[in-house]
Structure 1
Amino acid sequence: MRSERARSAARESLHALGTALATPTSPSTPLLARAPSRWQRWMPYAVAFTLVAVLLPVTIVVLIRDYGVNGGLAGALATAQTAPLLLAVVRPLQAWWIIFAADVLGAVVLMEADGTVGRSWPWTPMIVVGYLGLMLALGLREPRRTLVAVWLVTGATGFLFELVRPEYSDGIDVLLFVLSAAVLIIAHTVRSRGEVQQRLAEQETISEAERAQRTMLEERARIARELHDVVAHHMSVITVQADSAPYRIESLPDAAQDEFATIASSARESLAEMRRLLAVLRSDGSEGERAPQPGLNRAQQLVEAAVRAGVPAELSLPAELGEVPQTVDLSAYRIVQEALSNVLRHAPGAATRVSVTADEEFLTVLVVNGPSAEPASTLETIGTGHGLVGMRERVRLTGGTLDAGPLPDGGFRIAAHLPLTNMKDPT
């Protein structure tokens, strides 16, 4: 059990390290600056410090004992060839200029040294090791054009030295040329992969925002269509009442009859404008949505459908709710509908309770479900929260409030408070 946990932790750590290594950073930002843990962020410094700590004394000793270089000059060359590796963590290109110049100067010095014959030249083995570490830092930070230029300059310099003193050359310049190309290709591939992943993540974020915006607009259009049916009913009542007033009320003055005629005409014009608006809203092919809008009187049907789908749901609904405005009634129904749909998608088999209560000021809709009793579909494990967008739009329309969020036991709770006092029907 412990070994499995250790392997899992190691895999997660390597994954996080690879992601941070593949993520491009700005020139002034250290490598792995975006790694999640502190030890990963300090790793480039540790590697650079280790290289300097090992290569610096070894280079001094080799230059003095094997190549016969003066001690002071050997120390200066070794420091210039290794110490800038610490700078490579933040600014590898600037570090390359220093190290490359020191390497070229070292090759010139060794050209006249007594112990160079039979040994590696123009580059020493320590230069090759440090240079490859520098190429790794360059490949993770610099663009492709810079990497190609650095690689070509490295190869051309080694070739020129070989032309000057071919008897000293042992092929180490070719070895460095090939190995630096391999390291640069690997590092640049990792960096390119990180850039692609970053662009994909940004595109996914943009797409998700666009989907959420589109869902919100679609929900608003649907609400507007439903509101048309509600308001059109009241406008029709106003028109009928205004047209029939002269026949229902005896001895109605002529001025009053003219006023009622004006009201009826205005109501008919308003209905015509609303029908034109509805035609625009239904331009997406939803011409068939002409059935009467549902309300809480059909909430029991929603609960029964959820039970048939495998959700043990129950409904608590007062026998008499009193007068509920149509807009509030429709919004409450849609909230219950969406909440039960979310349970079916994300918590199949979870015990669910739907409660509707009302007082003089508010209608309260409460939908609470427990943790899922069975695994959710793989297609539904990642929720977008677009259902909650529609709920909030409806609650905002009525001037109410919505409280939605997870519960400590793994369930979910949705509580909507819809005002009744300011939403009474005009009739």
Structure 2
Amino acid sequence: MVGRFWEWLRGKKALVDAFFAVPVLLVSLPALLGGHQAMAEPAYLALTAGLVAPLVLRRTFPRTVFAVVALISGVQCAAGALPVAANVAVLMGLYTVAAGCAFRWALAAVVVGELGAVMATLRYPSGRDDQRSTLLMLSAVVAGVWILGLHMRTRRAYLSSVEERAARLERERDAEVKMAMAAERARIARELHDVVAHNVSVIVVQADGASFAIDTDVGRARQALETISLTGRTALSEMRRLLGVLREDDDAKAYAPQPGVAQLDDLVEQVRSSGLPVTFEVAGSPPDMSEGRQLTVFRIVQEALTNTLKHGGPRVAATVQLRYACDAVEVLVHDDGRGAAAADDGRGHGLVGMRERAAVYGGDVRAAPCPGGGFEVVARIPTTEAM
């Protein structure tokens, strides 16, 4: 409630300036009501009104208001009229120019104020020592008001820069959040590609086998259908888990953890059941690896075997080798299929996804046809962070 009031009041400059002009008017009233000895009441009233009334627009037109009150005070001094309480309007105008205008205008205003101090000292004679003291006092007041105005201008500029910086940081934070969301969606897209491509390839191979064997070998056809059913359920489960991260209201614990190197045996068995002979070899002791690195290894093997299923051709066999070193894990997936002769529809993103996954952890992937036939995927993933 208070914040709304200040926001509303901030836009009402004339109302606020009128509020600060009221005390000047109140101080001038006793002299008016009690009778002013050195000046007729109409003249005193006109002078007071001429000095106080412009203050209502003090912040709206700071230079104009200062020029008006300074001119009125200068005419008053030249005419020999005694100073009045409303002459403080000159100092208020000086402060406003120093606080709200460019420095050159603030400098011009302080020169005018100092000139007024000199005029007042010379116009109202007193002893030499008193004149010196009066000039020093008036100059100190003018300089103090001017410095206070400059300080307020600097403070307002600082607060404005802080607010601008906060707004910029907020915009940058929002942009980073959007970038993170886009990166997460890209990761999910790669995950979905790996899941769908692999499982659909297995389903297609099994369906082809079942269609050929349904009349001659019912048992084998039944086994192929069971594999299709199991593969389909696995694909749906992984897709639900991946798509679930896009649902803010869903409980993330309801989804299975990401696959890792421990699930490679299940992956190989699944591929074998689809009719692709796969030899799986492991060398070395598995070091402690983060879940992200394990997922990268799993997806590389999965994508390589999926490519073998899709492009290897008939009677193809594959070999998967996992070598654990002290600081990295090396993955080798080799098949004896068509290799360079395999058709490419140009719509696959598996090799790009493998390289991106490996690059995240400082690794690399090399995928190319082998001389004499076949295709080979070689990947190296560091198991520790680079220092």
- TM bucket normalised to smaller: 0.3 to 0.5
Query: TM-score under structure 1 normalisation?
Result: 0.43
Give 1 or 2 for the bigger CA radius of gyration: 2
Q: Which has the higher contact order (CA 8 A, sep 6+)?
A: 1
